[in-house]
């Protein structure tokens, strides 16, 4: 269905005298109603507000408005593939802001064939092998796939390096025990083997993986298994909705483990919902700042936020900021394509992603982590910034802004891990 939700602040394009040329068609795939909508909504809102703001304040790209077609596919990969065909064949989009892993990976061959840059919210490492050089089974060249932030695999590698240092810093003896937890699904499975391989390399004992669904439920049995295994570090591979259920169940049965959340596995909304069960969870944050930070970049993001919140009072979770950064990478790649009178085509937009080193969108300094993309390596960053969720007993009452202001919730910086750009990690 075509999106017509008040959440997304209405249409992203309206003809005005400021626009003198034909609009630039862009697709925006979202999950606002499916099993990952808990994190899909704030991310999609960040993308939508940013593209709307570009039209309002920058007159689009090179005087051409962005005509953004939004579609809520409910996290159903076949619907995403069907919508892609409509965008590519009828609307002739030149770029797409995408979402999930299963659908993004299913579309790799299509976007490569059609030469349409696809900037997804899936950080599957398989998408980083732009030149097809890894030779890994099941990984095909993805020259038109991009994403903002470290891959799922690299984010997990960063957390495991931190965990190994944490184990030593706390004076623990013997080998720490690590376990992967998540649904049997392409998204949580994406970094599983890479994480387990590095865990062994770092001296962890790797325990049998524990499965739980992408939807909320009663996961007492999984928590009892986790407790009986004696795990020290557990990776939560699902989105926040089902992770909340696990955290609550594990708190109830008295599990003592350091949880490591994936990038979609924890945020401020999850902290509020899980309460003290979320206290202490360590997870990666893609941006250099969280809501409430200062500096020129945050001023820009606050202006963007007013597109859908004219009051300026709504607290924006970490995913909103990441959505804004992802949208701006696409916009500036388009601007590069349009420079010197150039046409805004898929190939020229793709090449625009290669035009800058340590790339921070203009006006987003201190918010968007620098990105560097190469024609054969689409790992935009190897930096993994880790935060810890801090939640007190009274975190269930009030809005996010009220809870953060009162100190009932906080995101505490833990470490910034700079990973080596190992060739054997490309695409994995």
Q: What is the pLDDT of residue 71?
A: 98
- What sign results for the dihedral spanned by CA atoms 108, 239, 73, 118? negative
In this structure, the strands spanning 24-30 and 145-146 are: unpaired
- Across-strand partners of 259? 234
pLDDT per residue over 342-390, tens digit each? 999 999 999 999 999 999 999 999 999 999 999 999 999 999 999 999 9
CA distance 381 to 369: 8
Q: Given this model, what pLDDT does residue 397 score?
A: 79
Rg of the chain (C-alpha set): 21
Residue 117 CA to residue 173 CA, distance in Å, equals: 49
Centre a 10 Å sphere on the Cβ of residue 271 and count the other Cβ atoms it contains: 29
Which residues does 173 contact at the CB level (< 8 Å), separation at least 6?
none
Could you tell me which residues come within 8 angstroms of residue 45 by beta carbon, excluding any fewer than 6 positions away?
7, 8, 9, 308, 320, 323
Using a 10 angstrom Cβ sphere, with 0-12 exposed, 13-18 middle and 19 or more buried, the burial of residue 19 is middle
Tokens of 343: 């046409």
Longest CA–CA span in the chain (Å) reads: 70
Predicted confidence at residue 396, as pLDDT, reads: 66
Query: Which residues, 6+ apart, have CB-to-CB distance to 39 below 8 Å?
Result: 239, 240, 264, 267, 319
Closest CA to 35 of 155, 188, 153, 235: 188
**Would you mind telling me the total number of residues written for the chain in this entry?**
428
The token duo for 101 is 């892993």
The parts of the chain modelled with pLDDT lower than 50 are 1-17
pLDDT at position 10: 42
Residues 44 and 87 sit within 8 Å (Cβ to Cβ): no
Structure letter (DSSP) for residue 208: P
List the alpha helices (DSSP H) in 353-420.
400-406
Q: Which pLDDT does position 6 carry in this prediction?
A: 40
The pLDDT tens digits of the residues spanning 20-38 come to 689 999 999 999 999 999 9
The pairing of strands 409-418 and 383-391 is antiparallel
- How far, in Å, CA of 163 to CA of 261, rounded? 12
- What is the model's pLDDT at position 112? 98
Residue 5: the pLDDT is 41
Any long-range contacts for 67-70 (C-beta under 8 Å, 24+ apart)?
67/12, 67/13, 67/23, 67/24, 67/25, 67/26, 68/12, 68/13, 68/26, 68/27, 68/28, 69/2, 69/25, 69/26, 69/27, 69/28, 69/93, 70/2, 70/3, 70/8, 70/12, 70/28, 70/30, 70/44
Q: 202 to each of 135, 168, 178, 301, 383, how far by Cα in Å?
A: 25, 12, 11, 39, 19
What pLDDT does 92 receive? 97
């Amino acid at each position: 269905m075509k999106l017509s939700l008040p959440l997304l602040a209405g249409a992203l394009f309206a003809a005005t005298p400021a626009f003198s040329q034909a609009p630039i068609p862009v697709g925006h795939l979202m999950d606002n109603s499916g099993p990952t909508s808990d994190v899909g909504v704030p991310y999609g809102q960040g993308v939508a507000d940013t593209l709307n703001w570009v039209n309002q304040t920058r007159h689009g790209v090179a005087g051409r408005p962005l005509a953004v077609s939004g579609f809520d596919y409910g996290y159903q990969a076949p619907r995403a593939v069907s919508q892609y065909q409509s965008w590519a064949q009828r609307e002739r989009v030149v770029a797409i802001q995408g979402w999930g892993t299963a659908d993004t990976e299913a579309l790799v061959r299509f976007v490569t064939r059609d030469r349409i840059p696809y900037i997804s919210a899936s950080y599957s490492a398989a998408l980083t092998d732009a030149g097809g050089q890894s030779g890994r089974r099941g990984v095909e060249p993805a020259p038109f796939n991009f994403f903002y932030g470290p891959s799922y695999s690299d984010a997990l590698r960063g957390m495991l390096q931190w965990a190994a240092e944490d184990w030593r810093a706390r004076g623990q003896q013997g080998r720490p025990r690590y376990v992967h937890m998540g649904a049997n699904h392409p998204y949580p499975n994406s970094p599983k083997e890479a994480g387990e391989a590095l865990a062994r390399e770092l001296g962890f004992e790797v325990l049998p993986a524990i499965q739980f669904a992408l939807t909320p439920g009663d996961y007492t049995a999984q928590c009892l298994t986790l407790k009986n295994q004696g795990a020290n570090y557990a990776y939560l591979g699902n989105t926040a909705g089902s992770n909340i259920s696990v955290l609550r169940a594990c708190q109830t049965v008295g599990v003592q483990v350091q949880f490591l959340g994936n990038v979609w596995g924890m945020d401020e909304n999850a902290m509020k919902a899980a309460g003290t069960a979320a206290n202490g969870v360590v997870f990666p944050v893609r941006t250099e700042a969280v809501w409430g930070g200062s500096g020129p970049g945050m001023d820009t993001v606050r202006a963007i936020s007013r597109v859908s919140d004219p009051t300026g009072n709504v607290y924006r979770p970490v995913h909103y900021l990441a959505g804004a950064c992802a949208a701006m990478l696409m916009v500036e790649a388009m601007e590069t394509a349009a420079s010197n009178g150039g046409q805004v085509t898929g190939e020229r937009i793709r090449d625009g992603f290669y035009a800058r080193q340590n790339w921070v969108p203009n006006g987003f300094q201190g918010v968007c982590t620098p990105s560097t993309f190469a024609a054969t390596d689409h790992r935009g960053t190897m930096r993994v910034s880790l935060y810890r969720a801090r939640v007190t007993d009274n975190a269930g009452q009030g809005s996010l802004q009220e809870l953060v202001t009162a100190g009932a919730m906080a995101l505490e910086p833990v470490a910034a891990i700079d990973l080596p750009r190992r060739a054997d990690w490309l695409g994995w």
